[in-house]
Amino acid sequence: MLLEESYFTPFKASIQGMDLPERFTFPFYYQPHPLCILAAKELQDYLKTQQEWQHNFGLNGNTENAAGKMFGVLLVKNQRGEVGYLSAFSGKLADKSFLPRFVPPVFDLFAEKGFFISGQKTLNLLTEEITALEKSPSINDCKIALENVEHNADLAIKTHRAQMIAGRKTRKLQRVKAELELKHDDFLILKEQLSQQSIREKLQLRDLTGYWQEKISHAQEKLIQETLGLEALRKQRKDLSAELQQKIFTQYRFLNTAGVQKSLLTLFQKTAQIIPPAGAGDCAAPKLLQAAFKTGLQPLALAEFWWGSSPKSEIRKHLNFYPSCQGKCQPILEHMLDGIELDDNPLLANPAAGKNIDIIYQDEVMLVINKPAEFLSVPGKNIKDSVYLRIQQAYPEAKGGLIVHRLDMSTSGLMLIALTKEAHKQLQKQFIKRTVKKRYVALLDGTLEADSGVIDLPLRLDVDDRPRQLVCYEHGRNASTKWEVIERNNKQTKVYFYPLTGRTHQLRVHSAHVSGLNAPIVGDDLYGKASNRLHLHAEWIEFNHPVTKELMSFQVSEEF
């Protein structure tokens, strides 16, 4: 059997009459090619029926220790001109890196006689030794002794300072009384005596502080001497761990169509993070391309999908297709796809071309506009056309920041624009104090059972896959959304959203997340499925005019 045939999977279904892709998939934003959809369906049928290994995806109601998984399919042509596909999973599956039907990892980190297993054993032994030393009675005695000295020093100095304060008050009363009762010369003598008392107390504080500092330094030195061996072991473990990590980075080497090979370390050197993030190189897409290049298969198109229950932080829906992640995969795939003609990057196209901004209200200091969907609020990295640029061009005399608040590019609806610095300041102050009232309308992909509620899910940026947001209870910022159902129809639910905070992608994540409404907004290409548009619209806003303080409200109905 040829090496390519151990991974190459011919289609079970007939693909006669189906067109091949003209160019390879742009991996960071795409709609799967029909042949990739078919390949994914065949892989999914295999996942449903195979009995060779066991993994709890959480699809049978057993959520304990359930873990969904990202899978990928790579449409390929072999050297005989036959079209089929390769399959891969991200990371490990069923606690294994190698499984029948799936391509191997780029580098076998867990090879039995490999350096990583050996290095891990050494690190584990060092950790055990460090843990034992940390529990040493002599070290513990030194720590307690230092804590006692520091406590006694703090108590002694605080007591003396309190005595100084009391003495200062007593001397002040003595001076006041003496000035009224004593002769001038006697008053001067008493004043000098009181001054000397003050100096003595300050000198006593100096000596007391010096005494305790010396005792603390002595206790600290004893602890340092006692922990010299421990610190040496900690440094040894840290150095060995760093050395092991660097070696791993150099062993992950990625090919491209020209046969050029580059390591993880090299690929990430020119990125902002420099050090590759955990799991880089173990995603499905790099595995698939590496296997294709190694076995002489021609890559034609790529697709990745999620299989299983959603993770606690990310939004991943069973069977949904997802693009490759930016943080872990972009530097790798840019190299691996070098020399392959790709589909156009849709993220470089100006979505605002041919669209106009409707002005709902205008006076000398502000505007209320209706922003179209797929229209940036402020200039982006690659696209400058935006609400900010259009307003700047239309109102060249306007001063200040113009943009008071933002809407996501894909969200349509009402925005406030300030034409003066003072108006900008006053309007922003209302947003900061959360006195501005807003209502959004959204169409959700799913039928909600409850009629209303409040979602509280803290959010933070997914640094490995910008601009996606994660639910994170440890580092996330508080995010709260009130909602109520408008109507239910055709397995979809139209709702009102009242954001009580204003976090990035708040409504989109709160809709899609399994702990939120578990129903993505229709057309959400980040957290759900792409459609003609994101069905989210900022339809109503209420605020106080920045100059007259008059209560103002505006409403523009959605177009879906």
Phi/psi class of residue 384: alpha, beta or left (left: φ > 0; alpha: ψ in -120 to 50)? alpha
- The whole-angstrom separation of Cα 358 and Cα 368 is 9
Give Dmax over CA atoms of the chain in angstroms. Answer: 121
- The whole-angstrom separation of Cα 557 and Cα 560 is 9
* DSSP character at residue 6: G
Contact 554, 540 (CB under 8 A): yes
Contact 60, 318 (CB under 8 A): no
The active-site residue, picked from 282, 408, 445, 524, is 408
CA 320 remoteness from chain centre: 21
- The whole-angstrom separation of Cα 243 and Cα 237 is 10
Residue 359's CB is within 10 A of a number of other CB atoms, namely 13
Taking alpha carbons only, the member of 347, 425, 436, 355 closest to residue 389 is 355
HSE-up (13 A, CA, CB side) for residue 327 = 14
* DSSP character at residue 3: G
The string of DSSP codes covering 322-351 is -PPPHHHHHHHHHHHTTTS-B---GGGS-T
- The whole-angstrom separation of Cα 237 and Cα 230 is 11
Which structure tokens are listed for 468? 């996606």
Active site residue 462: no
Residues belonging to the active site: 408
